[in-house]
Homo-oligomer: A and B are copies of this chain.
């Protein structure tokens, strides 16, 4: 059924301090992707700004905005004008002054179809996200649009099979991962390869485990703060419902990554590989328990 094939595009980009420069790049590339027939566009995490989480700086909280602010207005207009679905991202500030790392989905009529607030928040050198973001409070809830239902996760979420599985169980047609991940400059080539490979592998595994196509949009390029730098590794990719990579970007270019995802392919796959049907829900209780003994030392 041809209506269940959705041509999808990722805008992989380098981000700059100049918000307008980032937005202009996105606007132009969305138009180009739309002209080539894409109906679903995925942007990378926090695409309108430098990755400000490299440093803890109280001034950076001024970058936060409402989900009904100027970024939303811009994305809504782009979705409506081009009759496409857009997955965007921003640093959200709520009316009661909570801060989230939030993805927004706009439907083809420009309406806000739903939002997802990043559930798993990292904290480490150059990624001080716990300083900026509250852990998401909306759970793992797919977002319905007029074309398909989106299961959205953001960056660090991609290392957790739990999120992908919950989105599958709740009816997602596709898994989508806006990201901002990169190498430290002093990582060896072998270490860079190892990290990139693990990152692609774990995401492909979510497609396989859940018989769903997956779209991962990462930023690219070097961003330097006063104390550190990150070389965002690009490699945005789209894979099919058995984890086969359909298209993948390089590590250091602005690119539009386009592929057709087949929403119905899962039906054939699940006939041979009916994983969901064989789950042992009677024995999974400890997955949500905080009382499991975690052995930290094998000595």
Are A298 and B173 closer than 8 Å at their CB atoms? yes
The answer to the question of A37 belonging to the interface, with a C-beta cut-off of 8 Å to chain B, is no
Number of chain A residues whose Cβ lies closer than 8 Å to a Cβ of chain B: 62
The answer to whether the Cβ of A140 comes within 8 Å of any Cβ in the partner chain is yes
Considering only residues 242-287 of chain A, those with a C-beta below 8 Å from chain B are 242-244, 263-264, 272-276, 278-287
Q: What residues of B have a CB within 8 angstroms of the CB of A276 in the complex?
A: 294
Q: Which of A60-68, A99-107, A119-127, A226-234 contacts B (4 or more CB under 8 A)?
A: A119-127
Which B residues are in CB contact (< 8 Å) with A173?
298
Given contacts A293-B170, A295-B149, contact A201 B204 (CB under 8 A): yes
A139 interface contact, C-beta 8 A: yes
Minimal beta-carbon separation of A98 from chain B (angstroms): 16
Task: Pick the interface stretch among A19-27, A79-87, A89-97, A154-162.
Answer: A154-162
Closest 6 CB pairs of A and B: A205-B205, A171-B295, A161-B161, A284-B288, A169-B292, A287-B287
A185 at the interface (CB under 8 A from B): no
Q: Is A289 among interface residues, defined by CB-CB distance under 8 A? A: yes
A166 to B280, CA, bound (A): 12
A275 surroundings in chain B (CB, below 8 A): 159-160
A–B pairs, 6, beta carbons within 8 Å: A122-B278, A160-B279, A169-B292, A201-B243, A202-B205, A281-B287
Bound: A120/B119 CA distance, A: 29
Residues of B close to A288: CB separation below 8 A: 281-285, 287-288
Contact between chains at B278 and A209 (CB < 8 Å): no
Q: How far is the CA of A165 from the CA of B280 in the complex (A)?
A: 13
The residues of B that contact A160 with a CB separation of less than 8 Å are: 209, 275, 278-280
A292 to chain B, nearest CB (A): 4
